[in-house]
Chains A and B, each alone.
Chain A
Amino acid sequence: MSETATMAKEILSVKDLNAWYGESHILHGITINVRQGEVVTLLGRNGAGKTTTLKSIMGIVKNRKGSVMFEGSELIGRTSNQIARQGIAFCPEERGIFASLNVEENLELPPVVRPGGMTVPDIYKLFPNLDERRKSQGTKLSGGEQQMLAIGRILRTGAPLLLLDEPTEGLAPVIVQQIGRIIRTLKEKGFTILLVEQNFHFASTVADRHYVIEHGEVVHSMNNDEIAANRDKLEHFLGI
């Protein structure tokens, strides 16, 4: 799969992406690309600009310059709802489960943007816990269940590219393993995933390639099999 992935065409190509929050200049020319069917991680410390990169691709950070090409069309200048309709789905770091909606309503909220997404029964098969709790209020779930709901609800939309922002944050090791299995399953199903992570041990179990981000720039990139050789460098960048 990884050999074919390296051959596959680019689905997302970010060039010289700059972004601002108010007056502060956060991203200083990020350049990354993701090929169809790949899982790519953005590694880096807190505040390095990983989340801002995802939010700028998604159009949630509006003040941005440079180029974000998705399946050959430019996303800079479009609003986040238009970008979502193009076929990109976003799972935020804070999970964004709606308290006023039950599990089922949360799951069915994001509109279908393209045919061929997973069906609700498929999603319940992937996340059996959610099936049992479909009438519970979204925020009554445990942290792990909320994370599964946050991932599950974007699989229905048919978007081929998933942006996952720190899906393992604050979760128990056994749940982290479960999330890892889910990401590998999604890759097998053909999803392309851009993942933000601080935990490179976890990242190395799911990803094909990694970019290291520091002060709003890409400072290093490597294939997953090079991670052991680059261990010292990574520990330096991630401040471990």
Chain B
Amino acid sequence: MFEIFGLSSTALFGQLLIGLINGAFYAMMSLGVAIIFGMLRIANFVHGAQYMLGAFCAWFLLNLPVLFPGSGLPEIGYWPSLIIAPIVVGVVGIVTEKLFISKVYDLEHAYGVLLTLGLALVIEGLFHVKFGSAGQPYGIPPSLQGGQNLGFMFLPNYRAWVIVASIVICFGTWYSIERTKLGAYLRAATENPVLVQAFGINVPRMLTLTYALGVGLAGLAGVMAAPIYQVSPQMGQSIIIVIFAVVVIGGMGSIFGSIVSGFMLGLIEGLTKVFYPQGSSTVIFVIMAIVLLAKPAGLFGKT
């Protein structure tokens, strides 16, 4: 152990690790919000609730034998949940888009905000009635228990996995949007949906699938968050406001901006906890205000 600025290295790197973990979730979440906003022009305030749904889905799958005793259903663990939960949440997203969100495309932005905020309140309210505000425990999968002593700090395996996985997910999503043919359709339709449709692409279906993709990412983040934060109905409420600040800082609709700002702001938040703990919950919003004053389109936004 050694000291930096009068702090023990364990304390500093510990906070930086927490910052990086939070940043990983900010990045995965704001990525989905940015994709949805870019394509659908909808500020998806129900994203936090969809993240919560992902975590609950993993919890349900793990507790199937307890929830339905005598049904003979098996316990479905973390790894299958990483695949199943995003698909389930994505399908919920498809239904949500068809039933509700597609109805407000032609209306003012404010209606989209009111609608998605309302949906979030309803979904979170229903889960609150059923499960109360106490969190449900969700264990770290056995294969990722334990950790590594790096000398200057202790790195739990699960947290290392979350950081690596989120970087892979973010890069993979960025690559498929910026460098593939399917992504080219998405970029083109973001710019000029009318013309892309006149070329023979079913744009309404593309909107639905884009929403499902964004929402599926929130579900995936929810599963990954389950062993770190508690699985609780309000887990999405605490993150969604920060996510929107991250998206605004990165530039509304900018994929790259949301990823970079997500990790960066997680780290800044972690550092603030070390040097000025009182400011740690507001620092992101202070940065947002400064960015909006200096660069209203965000750090990576197009003016």
Contacts and interface: CB of A to CB of B under 8 A. Distances in A.
Interface string B190-213: 111011111111110000000000
B122 interface: no
Nearest to B38: A100
Given A81-B203, A96-B192, A109 B198 contact: no
A105 B202 CA distance: 19
A111 interface: yes
Given A60-B194, A96-B192, A98-B192, A111 B199 contact: yes
B201 A81 contact: yes
Q: Which 10 A-B pairs have the closest CB atoms?
A: A84-B200, A110-B199, A100-B187, A80-B198, A96-B195, A98-B188, A105-B184, A85-B200, A81-B197, A80-B197
Contacts of A90: 195, 198-199
Given A60-B194, A92-B195, A108-B181, A101 B200 contact: no
B185 interface: yes
A79 interface: yes
Q: Is the interface of B mostly helix, strand, loop or mixed?
A: helix
Nearest to A111: B200
9 contacts: A59-B198, A80-B198, A81-B198, A84-B199, A84-B200, A92-B198, A109-B184, A111-B199, A111-B200
Contacts of B187: 98, 100-101
A109 B199 contact: yes
B201 A111 contact: yes
A81 B202 contact: yes
A105 B178 CA distance: 11
Interface string A76-106: 0001110111000110100010111100010
A100 B197 contact: no
Contact of B191 (A99, A108, A113, A154): A99
Given A81-B197, A84-B198, A109 B185 contact: yes
Contacts of A60: 194, 197-198
Nearest to B181: A108
Interface string A53-89: 0000011100000000000000000011101110001
Nearest to A113: B200
Given A105-B184, A109-B185, A98 B199 contact: no
A90 B192 CA distance: 14
A108 B182 CA distance: 11
A58 B200 contact: no
A109 B203 contact: no
A118 B107 CA distance: 41
